């Protein structure tokens, strides 16, 4: 406890001195909870991800604010539940000028840029693809990546770029200019990150490093295939593990570079997965991700959809080799970043500065309640209790309210709703109160997200590609 107290005092000293650390937020896409070594994964080694976890605090109850890509990121970027501002689903169908993170919402990049930081996004955006929704219009000084939800990994400069609102092909941008490139996106996003670090030695920087690994398409590179055990024969699983190896290698390059350039001790790193792995056929973006011991997958409000790998590392400032078991949220990343940068988040931000909790200065729970809404699906965690109404991918039916004690049943197998009617009523009332502050979605999701929504029209690739190329 004495060490935690000293660390907490050091956070206060940092804030008082005005020192501004670099901030690196690394996001993995559709990462299975159990596929990394730090969580028991054994099929392939992930030494660099595991080392990052061991270098700081691994939050065992780390949550995202949505079980789906775009709303999850919208919450992290704003520090506010995406259902508060209508960003409930992926922005795939509707008026391009309205699709995406609402323009009245300030991002973490806006806050940190105002505080004197150089800001950059490398990788996946997925917050709208009109000019006004572009990363360069949302607080980022630099952008190298793609605008929509999915993208191929192996780029070919002679390939014809194709665009769909959910997936693009060979449409990587530098700023607003479309690039013609060869290469592997995981490596290219890492190259850009290292370059940005080297070009910003005299000022603090914020990097949002948003890898598209391990999202589909499950492309296998020969340099990774040889490292996958021969016992793995399923082609989809081979693709997933190939992408995971690429992700681990990339994170190793970044962390090694920080150490070699002596920037590691003045860099706060936060790593998380944007939602659970997608391990159930025929779910959209099925990638074979394994979420054991959690139940459920991407797109569900069960633990497997919303509890994710979540690490906080800052050598000398955050204790190493520790776990933190109380619930934390990706909504906390913006307030935490603002605190170390010496600025304040918007009043609308719902997260908290995590550092006093991780350092032991504040022994209370960071959150009394965390809650979710994703179309007809609902969820709430309060203490060790989990209230959930989830949608079965196979039968397309809703479960109705179920109640679980996560301290005894992390896999959500023993429904206590009938045995605990008073607790069920209490938590249902709490979810209703939370939901009363939400608004209706600004656009529809597809059938996977919202079964009441009309089917999506086919993407108009030619017209959309022209629009996209203007960014």
| DSSP labels, 78-103 | HTS-GGGTT--S-S-SS-TTTSSS-T
Cβ pair 357, 327 in contact under 8 A: no
Mean pLDDT of the chain: 92
Q: Is the pLDDT of residue 241 over 50?
A: yes
pLDDT at 281: 83
What are the tokens at 216? 């589909």
In angstroms, how far apart are the furthest CA atoms of the chain?
A: 64
pLDDT at 450: 75
The better pLDDT of the pair 346, 152 is held by 152
What are the tokens at 425? 């009523």
| DSSP labels, 328-362 | EEGGGHHHHHHHHHT----TT------HHHHTTS-
What is the Cα Rg of the chain in Å?
21
Q: Is the pLDDT of residue 347 over 60?
A: yes
pLDDT at 438: 98
Mind listing the pLDDT tens digit for each residue in 435-466? 999 999 999 887 777 776 666 554 443 334 43
End-to-end CA, the chain = 52
Cα separations (Å) of 223 from 219, 242, 243? 12, 9, 11
- pLDDT tier for residue 3 given thresholds of 50, 70 and 90: very low
Q: Dihedral of CA 444/447/450/453: which sign?
A: positive
- Write the CB contacts of 405 (distance below 8 Å, at least 6 apart in sequence): 384, 385, 386, 414, 416
Burial per residue of 260-288, b for 16 or more beta-carbon CB atoms within 10 angstroms, e otherwise: eeebbebbbbbbbbbbbbbbbeebbbbbb
Range in 1-15, 16-30, 379-393 with the lowest mean pLDDT: 1-15
Classify residue 446: in a domain, yes or no: no
Classify residue 289: in a domain, yes or no: yes
**Quick one: average pLDDT of 111-121?**
98
Q: Dihedral of CA 229/232/237/239: which sign?
A: positive
pLDDT at 457: 52
Classify residue 459: in a domain, yes or no: no
Q: Is the pLDDT of residue 42 over 70?
A: yes
Classify residue 427: in a domain, yes or no: no
pLDDT at 265: 97
Cβ pair 79, 112 in contact under 8 A: no
pTM: 0.94
The better pLDDT of the pair 144, 10 is held by 144
**Quick one: average pLDDT of 303-315?**
98
pLDDT at 401: 98
Cα separations (Å) of 417 from 214, 235, 431? 36, 41, 15
Percent of the chain with pLDDT over 70: 92
The better pLDDT of the pair 147, 17 is held by 147
d(CA 178, CA 221): 24
pLDDT at 393: 86
Classify residue 462: in a domain, yes or no: no
CA angle 50, 56, 59 (to 5 degrees): 80
Q: Is the pLDDT of residue 467 over 70?
A: no
Helix axes 333-341, 2-17, angle to 10 degrees: 60
- pLDDT tier for residue 8 given thresholds of 50, 70 and 90: very low
| DSSP labels, 408-446 | T-TT--S--TTT-HHHHHHHHHHHHHHHTT----SS---
- pLDDT tier for residue 394 given thresholds of 50, 70 and 90: confident
Classify residue 424: in a domain, yes or no: no
Burial per residue of 311-323, b for 16 or more beta-carbon CB atoms within 10 angstroms, e otherwise: bbbbbebbbeebe
Classify residue 404: in a domain, yes or no: no
Here the CATH number for the domain that contains residue 157 is: 3.40.720.10
**Quick one: average pLDDT of 218-240?**
96
What is the number of domains present in the chain?
1
**Quick one: average pLDDT of 194-206?**
97
Mind listing the pLDDT tens digit for each residue in 122-145? 999 999 999 999 999 999 999 999
pLDDT at 419: 98
pLDDT at 18: 55
pLDDT at 456: 55
pLDDT at 471: 54
pLDDT at 19: 87
Q: How many residues does the chain have?
A: 471
Q: Is the pLDDT of residue 14 over 90?
A: no
**Quick one: average pLDDT of 163-185?**
96
Mind listing the pLDDT tens digit for each residue in 352-392? 999 999 999 999 999 999 999 999 999 999 999 999 999 99
Structural domain that includes position 362: 2-367
Pairing of strands 62-63, 328-329: parallel
d(CA 56, CA 45): 19
pLDDT at 99: 95
What are the tokens at 128? 């709208």
pLDDT at 15: 46
Cβ pair 8, 361 in contact under 8 A: yes
- pLDDT tier for residue 6 given thresholds of 50, 70 and 90: very low
Pairing of strands 118-124, 142-146: parallel
Classify residue 6: in a domain, yes or no: yes
Q: Is the pLDDT of residue 215 over 50?
A: yes
Cα separations (Å) of 364 from 71, 196, 367, 383, 414? 28, 38, 9, 11, 28
d(CA 114, CA 112): 5
- pLDDT tier for residue 255 given thresholds of 50, 70 and 90: very high
């Amino acid at each position: 406890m004495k060490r935690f107290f000293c660390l907490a005092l050091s956070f206060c000293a940092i804030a008082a001195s005005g020192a501004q650390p670099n901030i690196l937020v690394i996001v993995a896409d559709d990462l299975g909870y159990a596929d990394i070594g730090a969580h028991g994964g054994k099929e392939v080694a992930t030494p660099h991800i595991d080392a990052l976890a061991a270098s700081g605090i691994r939050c065992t109850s780390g949550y995202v604010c949505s079980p789906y890509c775009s709303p999850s990121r919208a919450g992290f970027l704003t520090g506010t539940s995406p259902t508060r501002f209508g960003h409930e689903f992926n922005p795939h169908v509707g008026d391009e000028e309205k699709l995406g993170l609402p323009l009245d919402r300030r991002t973490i990049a806006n806050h940190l840029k105002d505080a004197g930081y150089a800001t950059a996004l490398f990788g996946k955006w997925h917050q709208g693809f009109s000019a006004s929704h572009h990363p360069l219009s949302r607080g980022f000084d630099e952008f190298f990546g793609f605008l929509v939800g999915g993208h191929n990994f192996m780029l070919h400069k002679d390939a014809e770029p194709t665009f769909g609102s959910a997936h693009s092909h060979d449409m990587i941008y530098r700023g607003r200019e479309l690039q013609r490139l060869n290469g592997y996106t995981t490596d290219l996003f890492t190259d850009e990150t290292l370059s940005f670090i080297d070009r910003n030695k005299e000022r603090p920087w914020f990097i949002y490093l948003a890898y598209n690994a391990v999202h589909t398409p499950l492309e296998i590179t020969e340099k990774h295939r040889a490292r996958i055990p021969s016992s793995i024969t399923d082609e989809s699983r081979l693709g997933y593990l190939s992408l995971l190896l690429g992700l681990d290698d990339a994170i190793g390059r970044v962390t090694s570079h920080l150490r070699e350039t002596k920037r590691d001790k003045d860099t706060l790193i936060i790593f998380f997965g944007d939602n659970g792995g997608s391990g159930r056929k025929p779910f959209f973006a099925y990638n074979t991700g394994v979420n054991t011991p959690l139940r459920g997958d991407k797109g569900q409000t069960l633990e497997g959809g919303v509890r994710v790998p979540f690490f906080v590392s800052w050598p000398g400032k955050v204790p190493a080799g520790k776990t933190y078991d109380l619930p934390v949220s990706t909504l906390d990343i913006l307030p935490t970043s603002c605190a170390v940068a010496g600025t304040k988040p918007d009043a609308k931000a719902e997260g908290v500065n995590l550092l006093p909790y991780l350092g032991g200065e504040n022994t209370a729970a960071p959150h009394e309640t965390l809650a979710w809404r994703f179309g007809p699906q609902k969820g709430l965690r309060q203490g060790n209790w989990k209230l959930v109404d989830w949608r079965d991918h196979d039968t397309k039916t809703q479960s109705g309210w179920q109640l679980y004690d996560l301290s005894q049943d992390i896999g959500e197998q023993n429904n206590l709703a009938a045995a605990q009617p008073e607790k069920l009523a209490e938590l249902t009332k709490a979810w209703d109160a939370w939901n009363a502050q939400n608004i209706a979605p600004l656009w529809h999701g597809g059938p996977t997200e919202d079964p009441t929504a009309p089917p999506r029209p086919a993407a108009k690739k030619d017209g959309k590609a022209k629009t996209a190329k203007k960014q």
